Structure 1
Amino acid sequence: MDNEESDKYRAPALDKGLDILELLASVDGGLTQAEISKRLNRSPNEFYRMLDRLVRRGYVTRIDGDLYSLTLKLFGLAQLHAPVRRLASFATPLMRELAQRSKQANQLAVFDRGSAVVIAQQEAPDYWGISIRVGSHISLFDTGSGHVLLAFRSPEEREMMISEHVRSRDEINLTPEFYARLDQIRERGYEMMASAQTAGVYNLSAPILGPDGRSIAALTCPYISLVNNPSAPDITETISLLLKTASQLSALAGADVAQG
C-alpha cells in the first residue's frame, strides 16, 4: 500500500493518542503537557483533550500535579493476551504435578487492572482442598497472590498497581508495615500468611519471574492440614515443592519471552 492509499485511512485522533502513549513509555518520571507538545512538535492545545481522555480511561495518570505518566493498564491488558495464555498452557502439567505431590490445590494469578486475576487452577487430588474459579478477581492487599505480585516489582510499579485499585490509600489503610512486609517477602522469596477469607487455610505464594526479575504471575497453594492423610507433606515441605515449581515456571516464562 503506497502513502497516498494509506492516507485515506488515517485517524488523526488515534494517531495522536498513540504518539502520547509511545512517548510516555520511552521516558522515566513523566512529562508535562508542554514537554509532550514540544517532543511531538505540536501545540499544547492539541493534546489537552487527548490527555484528559487518557487519564479518564486509566492509561495515563497525573503525578506531582502537572506531570503525565503511563499507568500499568496497558501492561494489564497485555497480561491477558497470548503470552499469558501460553504461560497458563505450559503451567498446567507442572501445576498438576505440584498438586499430586503436595496433596493440595494450587492456582496461577496475574495482575490485571488493579486486581490479581486467576488464569489457571489445579484441584487437590483427594477429597479435600481449597480451589478458586479461573477468572476470579482477588485483592492485591489481603491475599498471598496479591502480595507476591506487588513484592517483586519496583516501588514505582507498586504505586501504579495500587493506584489502579483505589483512589485513596486511606480506603485500605496501607501502613508502613504493609510495605515492609512486601520487602520481607521479596527477601524471603515467597509469602506465607493466614488466609483472610477462610479459617484454617494458609496462603503459600511464590513469584513467577521474567528475565528481568519482575513478577509476571504468582503461584499460590491454599494450604490446609490434612488430618485424614498424615503422610501428606507438611507446610514446610509444601513450600519447598511450591518454590521448585515456581522456579521451573520462571525458567519457562523467560524462554517464552526471549522467543517473543
Structure 2
Amino acid sequence: MNDLDQDRYRAPALDKGLDIIELLAGVDGGLSQAEIAKKLDRSPNEFYRMLDRLVKRGYVARLDGDRYVLTLKLFGLAHLHAPTRRLASLAMPLMRELAEVTRQENHIVVYDRGHPVVIAQLEAPGYWGISIRVGSRMGLFDTGSGHVLLAYRSPEVRAMMVAEHVASGGPEGRMTEAFSRHLDEIRARGYEMMPSAQTAGVTNLSAPIVSADGEALGALTIPYITIINAPEAPDITRTIDALTETARRISELAGAGLGADLTDTN
C-alpha cells in the first residue's frame, strides 16, 4: 500500500486515541491534557473528547490535578489468550472425557502471583458434585492442587512461590522439613490424595500437568465424593488411575513450547 492509499484509509479519531495511549505508555506519573497536546503538537481542545472516551472505556484513568495515566486494561486484553488459556483450551476435551468416566467434577489449577488459581472446570455429569468456579484463588499449603504445584517445582522456585504466597496474605512457616518430605512423596507416586481442608467428605485428588523438563504447568484435580446412587461410578482407586492418565495426556498435548511459556510466566 502506497502513501496515497494509507491517507485514503486514515481514521483520524482512532489515530488520535492511539497517539494518546502510546504517549502515556512511555511516561511515569501521567500527563495533563495540556502536556499531552504539547507533546503531540496539537491543540488541547482536540483531545478533550478523546480523553473522556478513553477514561469511560477504562483505558485511561484521570487522577487528581487533571493528570491522565494509562490503566492496565490493555495488559489484561493482551493476556486473554495467554498460555494458561491455551492450556485450558487444549485440555477441555480430555477433561470432559474424564468427567464422563469418573462421574466427578474436575478442574485445572495453575500458580499465579502467590496463589493457585482455577483456569478451567467441568461439572460432574450427574445430579451431584462439587463445583469450583473458574478464577477461584486457593491456598498453596492446604489444597491438593497447591501441593502438586509445589512438588513439581525446583527448590528455588518453591521458595519463590512460598514467599509470594506469604506476601499476598498466606500463612507463614508451613515449609517445614516434614512438608518438604511430603512433597517429595507426591512426586515419587505421581499424585496427591488428601482430605479436603474446606469441605467435609471430599477427598482431593490432584495430578501434575508437566512440561518436557518435568516442571509443573498446572494441576488437574478431582474433588472426589462417594456417589451412593451411582453404582457404575468408579471407586477412588480407578478414579486416580483415570486422573493420572488424563494429566499425562494433557501434558503431552501441551508440549514443550507451551510449557516454557507457562513456567516462565507463573
TM-score in terms of structure 2 length: 0.65
Q: Which residue of 1 aligns with 2:222?
A: 221
Aligned to 1:171, what secondary structure does the other structure show? Answer: coil
What is the percent sequence identity of the aligned residues?
Answer: 61
Partners of 1:208 and 1:146 lie apart in 2 by 13
Superposed displacement of residue 11, structure 1:
5.9
**What RMSD over aligned residues (CA atoms) do the two structures have, in Å?**
2.5
**2:111 matched to 1:91?**
no
Task: Describe the shift of the 1:241–1:98 C-alpha distance in structure 2 as closer, same or farther (beyond 3 A).
Answer: same
Q: Which residue of 1 aligns with 2:19?
A: none
Task: Describe the shift of the 1:258–1:157 C-alpha distance in structure 2 as closer, same or farther (beyond 3 A).
Answer: closer
- Counterpart amino acid of residue 252 in structure 2: A
Partners of 2:110 and 2:181 lie apart in 1 by 22
Q: Which residue of 1 aligns with 2:160?
A: 160
Partners of 2:225 and 2:92 lie apart in 1 by 21
Superposed displacement of residue 84, structure 1:
1.2
Q: Which residue of 2 aligns with 1:239?
A: 240
Structure 1 or 2, whichever has the larger Rg, is 2
Structure 1, 189-198 or 174-183: larger mean CA deviation? 174-183
Aligned to 2:166, what secondary structure does the other structure show? Answer: coil
Superposed displacement of residue 212, structure 1:
1.2
Aligned to 1:229, what secondary structure does the other structure show? Answer: coil
Number of aligned positions between the proteins: 188
Q: Deviations over 1:122-162 (max 9, x none)?
A: 00000111120000000110001000000000011000000
Partners of 2:249 and 2:189 lie apart in 1 by 18
Partners of 2:86 and 2:146 lie apart in 1 by 21
- Counterpart amino acid of residue 231 in structure 1: E
Superposed displacement of residue 170, structure 1:
7.1
Structure 1, unpaired ranges of 5+: 1-8, 14-77
Q: Which residue of 1 aligns with 2:149?
A: 149
- Counterpart amino acid of residue 206 in structure 2: S
- Counterpart amino acid of residue 205 in structure 1: S
Q: Give every structure 1 segment of 4 or more consecutive aligned residues whose post-TM-superposition deviation is greater than 3 Å.
A: 9-13, 78-81, 167-170
TM-score in terms of structure 1 length: 0.67
- Counterpart amino acid of residue 142 in structure 1: D
Superposed displacement of residue 208, structure 1:
0.4
Q: How does 1:1-260 map to 2 (within 5 A)?
A: 82-167=82-167, 171-254=172-255, 256-257=257-258
Aligned to 1:180, what secondary structure does the other structure show? Answer: helix
Native 8 Å contact 1:79 1:110 kept in 2:
no
- Counterpart amino acid of residue 128 in structure 1: W
Q: Deviations over 1:189-246 (max 9, x none)?
A: 1000000000110000000001111001100000000111122100000000001100
Partners of 2:86 and 2:156 lie apart in 1 by 28
Q: Deviations over 1:53-76 (max 9, x none)?
A: xxxxxxxxxxxxxxxxxxxxxxxx
